[in-house]
Amino acid sequence: MKKTILIVGLGLIGGSVAVSLRKSPNLHVIGYDINEKNTDVALELNIIQEGTLDPKNTSERADIILFATPVNATLNWLDLIKDWPLKKDVIITDTGSTKTLIMEKACELRKLGITFIGGHPMAGSHKSGISAAKPYLFENAYYLLTPLESEEEATIQRLKEILSYTKAKLLTVSAASHDQMTAVVSHFPHIVAASLVNQLKEESTQNQTTKMLAAGGFRDLTRIASSNPKLWRDITMQNRIQILAQLTSWQKEMAKVKEVLETGNTDEIEMFFSDAKEYRDQLPSTKGALFSTYDLSIDVPDYPGSIAEITAYFAEEQISITNIRIIETREDVYGILVVSFQNEEDREKAASCIKRRTQYDVYIR
């Protein structure tokens, strides 16, 4: 028997969930977006099977309702659905990157007999919008679910069965644990990246050459600072308690580093870098909280046509690229040319292509 999925919010995340679920012949995906044009595009691209101008009028048909909207918007929607004509066993879920406020609202829904299970697919892209939706966006990424403690396991499994078509790694955690973990690996790093960029901006007022030299490792390190400011304003405020705790820990760590530098203890400063390298090298390659990029660095000679040569090889072997750039400052970066791909498989194909067809060295970072 076919299940009907109603997705509210057809951006990158909502669209990618929708097109993932389209893999199943037993799921019928209905989409809604506040921007009617996004719904039209989703239909044209076969991301959804049906569009709606009013999710309330469609809600009585839905077995699963997923809100792929910013957290503040989702909170508003969760107030509205209290008056919707819902199925008795419908499951409501979301994709928000903070969970404590959402799950407080879930408690209100539970009192009305409405089941809500929080969700957060921990993957993204440098692109946004419905046209950037991809069926493999969540493959091998962690997708965290935050049910209420009293939620029945059978209900959680029902949602997991639907979401299994995303090919994500589904984990169940508490809302508090979710917000603490994402503060460590996602929210706080965004603040650090933004602060580093702001520091560069201040330094560049004294010497413009500093900005030019930031084109290498610094640019890669601070990539996430290019994220949507309004989105990160909301995330920061919604999870500010956990982020403040991380800031306090960071300040203590930096105070230790400052003390070591002031005393000139070479052994301790080497240990600082050594410990970080050892632990960093042990980190899993699975997609995590920060959206992944799949970069391939290539040492190509600097002569006319070299880049065209590389891209022609990729075109011949039907390997799609998402970005390409030349690195000018390479003190801590291998390769003169950096090519970005949509997924790890394309990057591996590209590396194999270059090794087979050229003498150029390639590096996967």
| Each residue's pLDDT tens digit, 172-222 | 999 999 999 999 999 999 999 999 999 999 998 989 888 888 866 788 788
The confidence score (pLDDT) of residue 292 equals: 64
Selection from 83, 285, 98 nearest residue 182 by Cα: 98
The confidence score (pLDDT) of residue 360 equals: 86
For the domain with range 178-281, which CATH number is right: 3.30.450.20, 3.30.70.240, 3.40.50.1820, 1.10.3660.10?
A: 1.10.3660.10
65 or 285: whose pLDDT is higher?
A: 65
Interval 12-23: pLDDT, tens? 999 999 999 999
Indicate whether 328 pLDDT > 60: no
The confidence score (pLDDT) of residue 330 equals: 45
Task: For residue 82, report the phi and psi dihedrals to the nearest 5 degrees.
Answer: -60, -25
Interval 259-273: pLDDT, tens? 999 999 999 999 999
The confidence score (pLDDT) of residue 289 equals: 62
Q: Which residues in 113-211 belong to E strands, given as ranges?
A: 115-121, 142-147, 169-172
User: CATH class for domain 294-364?
Assistant: alpha beta
Give the predicted TM-score (pTM) of the model: 0.79
Question: CATH 3.40.50.720 in the chain, residues?
Answer: 3-173
Give dist(CA 193, CA 191) in Å, integer: 5
Using the Cα atoms of residue 271, residue 272, residue 277 and residue 280 in order, give the sign of their dihedral: positive
Question: CATH 3.30.70.260 in the chain, residues?
Answer: 294-364
34 or 332: whose pLDDT is higher?
A: 34
Buried-exposed string 338-363: b where 16+ CB fall within 10 A, e elsewhere: bbbbbbbebbebbbebbeeebebebe
The confidence score (pLDDT) of residue 286 equals: 60
The confidence score (pLDDT) of residue 323 equals: 82
Indicate whether 291 pLDDT > 70: no
Give dist(CA 213, CA 364) in Å, integer: 22
The confidence score (pLDDT) of residue 123 equals: 83
Question: CATH 1.10.3660.10 in the chain, residues?
Answer: 178-281
Six-digit token pair at 104? Answer: 């407080």
Give dist(CA 59, CA 119) in Å, integer: 19
For the domain with range 3-173, which CATH number is right: 3.40.50.300, 3.40.50.1950, 3.40.50.720, 3.40.50.1970?
A: 3.40.50.720
